[in-house]
Chains A and B, each alone.
Chain A
Amino acid sequence: MLNIDRRWIFLAIGVVSIVPFLIGIGMPVSTTVEVENIFDYVNELGKDDAIFISFDYAPGTQAENTPMAIAVMRHALHNDVSVFLTANQPLGHGMAIGALHYVTDPAIPDFYESVSFEDWSALRDAGIVDKDELVSAWESEGNVLPEGCSGWIFEGRDYALLGYAPVFNLVILGMTNSIEAQYPQDAHGNSTGEMPMLRDHKSLREVDLALSCSGSGACVWWITYAREKIGMPVAFGVTAVMATDYYPYIQSGQIIGQMGGLRGAAEYEVLLYENGVTVTTGKAFTGMDVQSAAHLLIIFLIIMGNIAFFAGGFHKKTALKGRG
């Protein structure tokens, strides 16, 4: 048992990870206070509010971080909350673009129809920037919401892809005084000074939440440079590996909540679904069956390994492969 070829374990994990996708077990996902706190906070926000979602991760942790960012982005857009998308690293910039495409992809349930900054410039010039008036004016021009679409989102009013900026900790610090000074243009080359959402939210002092979806310790920058300087509410969406490191920040009240790994994203998806924000749960929830099955297998392997170790391997000093 102690000398089992590790490739058999890889194969078993592979099988256990594929089968639940095919047969669909549908195990329930209960929600935790840390995630509920973020949901409740965003749920209280409205069309006069704005949040930051920072894509502080690279493709290596995309499977965990992207579902969190998408879930919160959907929630905010559903409530007409303006969403700023930033990234603390160049690869995170691509993650932000990918998440925005996913939320506006007609092939994905609960998608939003995006209107580019240029396309609604005439309405903007006419002074129509209130979301309800904007939708009415836009639809009166003959634009029809596609079937199954959750709503219109206007670039510059509902979202702004600010993207990556170097030395991001100092960028956060600078944004406590002026967002436009740090991002004169968005990632599409649009002037941020002309965006209604930046006129209403000139600095981080006028923004209601920063969610850092992070695969590294850089998420703490938001606490250090935004929370501690101006008292800005901060929430974390971190990888599971990091989650235990950041629980103390909940205890100290420095973050309002935390989504830990795919499980945290699945919890947020469940809350969105149960509260009627989305018509279905997302990728994180569907992955939870696999997560449970794989955990059961790993627990079984740990127990078997310990039994084998103490039943003979340890006392008889059996030579383990690769250990001399």
Chain B
Amino acid sequence: MYETIGIWVGAFFTLAIYSFLYKENPLYRLAEHLVVGVSLGYTISITYDITLKPRLIEPLLAGSHWILIIPAILGLLYITRFIPSIAWLSRYPIAFLMGTSMGVSFPLTMKAWVLRQLEGAMAPLYVSGMNWSEVAGNIVLILGTLAALIYFFFSKPHKGLFFGTGSKIGIWVIMLGFGATFGFTVMGRISLLIGRIQYLLGDWLHIIK
């Protein structure tokens, strides 16, 4: 019974959202606002139920883990944003979070995002046993990376054989990347539509399995 009601509600709001494709209307706005409201409500309830309650409130009520008072107070300081006269207090938890996050993540982020990527780009053009497609791929990879980097090098005018031709090839490489991203984006958007149609035709109308 409840599942059926849920499916009908889901179908109604799916159609309400898609009604925007014809033109903006009150039903669409109702659905849009409900998405925001329900998401926030769900987030608050989940955060309370599986984070605040078992990890903070229950240990404190049990009389143990008094150290948790410190993060609890730091967390509560965020709420001072709503009281202008003491809003400055909210800077402390923000500073704490930013400082610890930076300290923890900086070395690993450098390794993951910069050093490993550099290592990946330093592929040998040819190693004994490689077939021609791998060699061609490595050449494209290295020349493409260099050309794209030249395009973003602004300290020299993009003229001449090296900077002029290099930056032109760089534009082509970047455009190819944008083209691939656009193709994937179209695929992604259609996938979301497919998900909704499967819901409407399957779960709601039972026309398809």
Interface string of B63-93 (1 = CB under 8 A from A): 0000000000000000000000000000000
Give the total of B residues in contact with A, Cβ under 8 Å.
49
Name the prevailing secondary structure of the B interface residues. Answer: helix
Contact of A166 among B42, B51, B177, B207 (CB under 8 A): B51
Give Cα A242–Cα B114 distance, bound, in whole angstroms: 19
Q: A184-B54, A253-B120 are in contact. Are A291 and B190 (CB under 8 A)?
A: yes
Determine whether B61 belongs to the interface, using a CB cutoff of 8 Å to chain A: no
Evaluate contact between B191 and A291: CB separation under 8 angstroms: yes
Evaluate contact between B194 and A93: CB separation under 8 angstroms: no
Evaluate contact between A240 and B197: CB separation under 8 angstroms: no
Evaluate contact between B108 and A228: CB separation under 8 angstroms: yes
The interface residues of chain A lying within 8 Å CB-to-CB of B136 are none
Determine whether B154 belongs to the interface, using a CB cutoff of 8 Å to chain A: no
Determine whether B198 belongs to the interface, using a CB cutoff of 8 Å to chain A: yes
The interface residues of chain B lying within 8 Å CB-to-CB of A184 are 54-55
Contact of A240 among B101, B113, B117, B184 (CB under 8 A): B184
The interface residues of chain A lying within 8 Å CB-to-CB of B177 are 244
Evaluate contact between A165 and B117: CB separation under 8 angstroms: no
Determine whether B146 belongs to the interface, using a CB cutoff of 8 Å to chain A: no
Give the total of A residues in contact with B, Cβ under 8 Å.
60
Give Cα A91–Cα B38 distance, bound, in whole angstroms: 11
Contact of B188 among A164, A228, A239 (CB under 8 A): A239
Q: A7-B22, A21-B197 are in contact. Are A244 and B42 (CB under 8 A)?
A: no
Determine whether A254 belongs to the interface, using a CB cutoff of 8 Å to chain B: yes
Evaluate contact between A287 and B194: CB separation under 8 angstroms: yes
Q: A64-B192, A225-B108 are in contact. Are A252 and B50 (CB under 8 A)?
A: no
From 147 to 191 in chain A, residues with beta carbon under 8 angstroms from any chain B beta carbon are: 163-167, 169-170, 173, 184-185, 187, 189
Q: Report which residue of B50, B117, B207 has the largest number of chain A beta carbons within 10 angstroms of its beta carbon.
A: B50
Q: A164-B51, A253-B120 are in contact. Are A262 and B194 (CB under 8 A)?
A: yes
Evaluate contact between B120 and A252: CB separation under 8 angstroms: yes
Evaluate contact between B112 and A164: CB separation under 8 angstroms: no
Q: Report which residue of B46, B198, B201 has the largest number of chain A beta carbons within 10 angstroms of its beta carbon.
A: B46
Of all chain B residues, which has the CB nearest A297? Answer: B190
Evaluate contact between B42 and A224: CB separation under 8 angstroms: no
Expressed in whole angstroms, the minimum distance between the Cβ of A30 and any Cβ of chain B is 15
The interface residues of chain B lying within 8 Å CB-to-CB of A229 are 108
Evaluate contact between A7 and B21: CB separation under 8 angstroms: yes
Determine whether A290 belongs to the interface, using a CB cutoff of 8 Å to chain B: yes
The interface residues of chain B lying within 8 Å CB-to-CB of A94 are 42, 46
Give Cα A35–Cα B53 distance, bound, in whole angstroms: 40
27 A-B contacts, Cβ less than 8 Å apart? A7-B21, A7-B22, A21-B207, A22-B201, A22-B207, A22-B208, A63-B191, A63-B192, A90-B42, A90-B47, A165-B50, A166-B47, A223-B112, A224-B108, A227-B112, A228-B112, A240-B185, A241-B181, A241-B189, A243-B184, A262-B187, A262-B191, A262-B195, A286-B198, A287-B195, A290-B197, A294-B190
4 residue pairs, one from A and one from B, having the closest CB atoms: A63-B195, A252-B120, A240-B188, A262-B191
Binding site for B on A (CB under 8 A): 7, 10, 13, 17-18, 21-22, 58, 60-64, 90-91, 93-94, 163-167, 169-170, 173, 184-185, 187, 189, 220, 223-225, 227-229, 239-245, 248, 251-254, 260-263, 283, 286-287, 290-291, 294-295, 298
Binding site for A on B (CB under 8 A): 21-22, 39, 42-43, 46-47, 50-51, 54-55, 97, 100-101, 104-105, 108-109, 111-113, 116-117, 119-121, 123, 141, 177, 180-181, 184-198, 201, 207-208
Given A240-B184, A240-B185, A251-B141, 8 more contacts at CB 8 Å?
A21-B207, A63-B195, A64-B195, A241-B189, A254-B116, A287-B195, A287-B198, A294-B190
